[in-house]
Amino acid sequence: MKRDEIMLLIKVGGGKSINWEGVCADLAVIIKKEKAVLVHGANALRDEIAAKLSVPTKTVISPSGLTSVYTDRTAIDVFLMAYAGLANKRVVAMLHRYGVNAVGLSGVDGRLWEAKHKKDILVQEGDKVKLLQGNFTGRVEKVNTGLLQILLEANYTPVLCPPAIGFDHEILNTDNDHALAVMAGALRIKCLISLFEAPGFLEDPEDENSLITHIDKGRIEEFLYAARERMKKKVLGAKRAFEAGVEIIHWGDGRLDNPIRAVLEGKGTTIS
Amino acid sequence: MKRDEIMLLIKVGGGKSINWEGVCADLAVIIKKEKAVLVHGANALRDEIAAKLSVPTKTVISPSGLTSVYTDRTAIDVFLMAYAGLANKRVVAMLHRYGVNAVGLSGVDGRLWEAKHKKDILVQEGDKVKLLQGNFTGRVEKVNTGLLQILLEANYTPVLCPPAIGFDHEILNTDNDHALAVMAGALRIKCLISLFEAPGFLEDPEDENSLITHIDKGRIEEFLYAARERMKKKVLGAKRAFEAGVEIIHWGDGRLDNPIRAVLEGKGTTIS
């Protein structure tokens, strides 16, 4: 198999209202024509389990204004339960129901996503900046494309999720959008799809009718300042994906009937 | 790779006092000489999470006297969290720390363990037999050896755990010892190792000094009647493994310093 045969890298966010049946149905059609790798989140499920276990997810803000989750050992355990356990296997089983021969893997398996462990993080608390230790996060720097290749060659559809594994072998929470960009580069992917709980990039995050249908990839950084919270990370991830060789990115609504088909038909935001 | 190159199939029980560091250290030495597939349980972790989530594990007794877990949808969720999520990825990360290129998979992934869904089960309650519905268990009947082969050929060490997937695509709790026997047959494995929280097969389950060091495989069924609870399933599993072509089975103590080495050196119970 030539690397170029891997055509689609699709990320589906971990929101509660994602239409997973639609995602799986669309994917079953797509893989008849081209290879695909699916990456998913599970943040809603993670927060739900964390709440039930009375270890609520701790959110911190970096001095540069990015919101992220502070991940201690307990949070990593909840993360594994939600992402690699519940969400990943539910998606894999559902894909099998649609005839897709899915194999679920976390970034830990075969060192699929290798990251540098960031043990201490700086957090903004009011007008003070504090150092938080005992953190288990890291940014993906290396992707085991070989493992993905052998699965794709054998006609399996990889279904991937965080956590990543550190160069120090620790299990690490990681930014999915960054991992996606690094993986797209490593797999020489040209087209990237990201589905979440909004129609695409909204000029006004509160107004679903303010969809921006096209963004010039050269102007992506301007949108970084307009973006809020989670969207900021998607914009940063998109910027990195273009730097890594991606040519077109589709952002679309994971809540629609046929979410992948819709985004490929131009519903959503296209960045190119 | 010839199938015969896969030499060892090792199962490690899900008890609390298993010496996982020792298991990983031993496996790192073994895989320098021969291929291995690891299967693990996580029942202690499962019960712990179930208790924390206030959905305690429900145990039932079959009319034939076998103890098993009644698995409704909630129990399957807890099962996924404990086995495919927490336990599997912890073991995989630990193996990487010992230099073993481990890939963790559940029976759901790539339909690795396919089972027939047993929706209704008969349970013994006092002197009455009741029918319990909405059950998500099944016995493994089919193994995707192809997926294991491509991983082993590429020098990955598969780390497997339940649940299985039903022919009806449902996620199913399954008897690990039965799955092990079916897998041993499908992979043409000659030597099987099973580690748990006892020195081996004990004549008196309450007395750790009553170890039976050798059992004639032709007499295995006699031991079925002597065995209690979980041990009953191991004896049944061993019987099936021999029917499937296995030649030697080692049962040993997973709590020792070097649990795999110890069992291969003859500490424990050898059935041949």
Nearest-CA distance from B85 to chain A in Å? 4
Q: What are phi and psi of B169, to 5 degrees?
A: 70, 10
In degrees, rounded to 5, the angle at the alpha carbon of residue A31 between the alpha carbons of residues A26 and A34 is: 125
How many residues are given for chain B? 272
Tokens, residue B57: 């594990």
Distance of CA A12 to the CA centre of its chain: 6
User: Prior bond to A163 cis, omega within 30?
Assistant: yes
List the domains of chain B with CATH numbers.
3-271 (3.40.1160.10)
Read off the pLDDT band of A148 (50, 70, 90).
Answer: very high
Q: How many helices (H) and strands (E) does chain A have?
A: 9, 18
Read off the pLDDT band of B6 (50, 70, 90).
Answer: low
Specify the pTM.
Answer: 0.95
Closest by CA to B164, choosing from B146, B179, B177, B152, is B179
CB B253 within 8 A of CB B262: yes
User: Prior bond to A199 cis, omega within 30?
Assistant: no
Nearest-CA distance from B12 to chain A in Å? 19
Is residue A169 scored above 60 in pLDDT? yes
pLDDT tens readout for residues B47-57: 999 999 999 88
Q: Which residue has 């077109």 as its token pair?
A: A248
Average pLDDT, chain B: 93
Is residue B3 scored above 80 in pLDDT? no
User: Least CA distance to B51: which residue of chain A?
Assistant: A53
> Across residues A107-135, what is the average pLDDT?
94
User: d(Cα B23, Cα B98) in Å, to the nearest integer?
Assistant: 10
Highest mean pLDDT among A51-60, A255-264, B55-64: A255-264
Is residue A222 scored above 60 in pLDDT? yes
- DSSP, residue by residue, B153-215: HTT-EEEEE--EEETTS-EEB--HHHHHHHHHHHTT-SEEEEEESSSSEESSTT-TT-EE-EE
* Interchain contact B29–A (C-beta under 8 A): no
Question: Which residue from B92, B146, B165 is facing A96, i.e. has the nearest CB?
Answer: B165
pLDDT tens readout for residues A231-250: 888 999 999 999 999 999 99
Across the interface, whether the CB atoms of B104 and A102 are under 8 A apart is answered no
How much is the pLDDT for B46?
96
Is residue B5 scored above 70 in pLDDT? no
CB A12 within 8 A of CB A18: yes
Closest by CA to B152, choosing from B162, B142, B164, B160, is B160
Question: Which residue from B77, B89, B97 is facing A80, i.e. has the nearest CB?
Answer: B89
* Interchain contact B169–A (C-beta under 8 A): yes
> Across residues A178-182, what is the average pLDDT?
96
Rounded to a whole number of angstroms, the distance between the first and last alpha carbons of chain B is 27
